[in-house]
Amino acid sequence: MALSPTFHTILTTSLSAPSPKLPPSISSPQRFPFLTKPLHPNAFNLSTSSSAPDQKWRVNVSFFPAFLNKGKDAKVLKQDLLDCIAPLDRGADATPEDQQRVDQLASKLEAVNPTKQPLKSDLLNGKWELIYTTSKSILQTQRPKFLRSSTNYQAINVDTLRAQNMESWPFFNQ
């Protein structure tokens, strides 16, 4: 398993209290050094040998690393999604590979959504600018570019489960 660039954020150092004296019948626990040589160019040297005997490494591990920085992941995913769709002319220039990439990013972003039931939330109500779609009828790809709508909006009403598409024409600036 390769180390991720955020691996260093879960490593902390702490000073431990002096270890209690153990009875002679119980041997002191063996110290096992973690890594003494990096196995990978980005690997960390986690050797337990240090100049101060009271200092040792402590590694915080989570079995659910996605919960550690969920908000940060959502921001990164949002920006990745916006960067991915920016050159696609609202989806009109998207290849099947582009569509698949956008769909994967949108699914990842939905997975970290803090709202448990988005369709029951009032956060979705309102008028939204449609910046990406795969709908050919909304994109109007059969028309020349200068006759296509410049901006599309959707008015969403969660209470009635309705969405209304609205077009803005380049000549009328609606």
Tell me the one-letter amino acid at 100: Q
Give the orientation angle of helix 70-85 with respect to helix 96-111, to 10 degrees: 160
Is the separation of the CB atoms in 141 and 88 below 8 Å?
Answer: no
Give pLDDT tens digits for 43-79: 444 444 444 445 555 555 555 555 555 556 889 999 9
Nearest of 135, 126, 173 to residue 151 by alpha carbon: 173
Residue 80's pLDDT band (cuts 50, 70, 90): very high
**Cα distance between the two ends of the chain:** 53
* C-alpha span between 29 and 170 (Å, rounded): 76
Q: Residue 7 above 90 pLDDT?
A: no
Q: Which of 163, 92, 169 shows the shortest CA–CA distance to 132?
A: 92
pLDDT band at 136 (very low <50, low <70, confident <90, very high): confident
How much is the pTM?
A: 0.54
- Judge whether 94 and 80 are in contact, CB under 8 Å: no
Residue with the larger pLDDT of the pair 16 and 65:
65
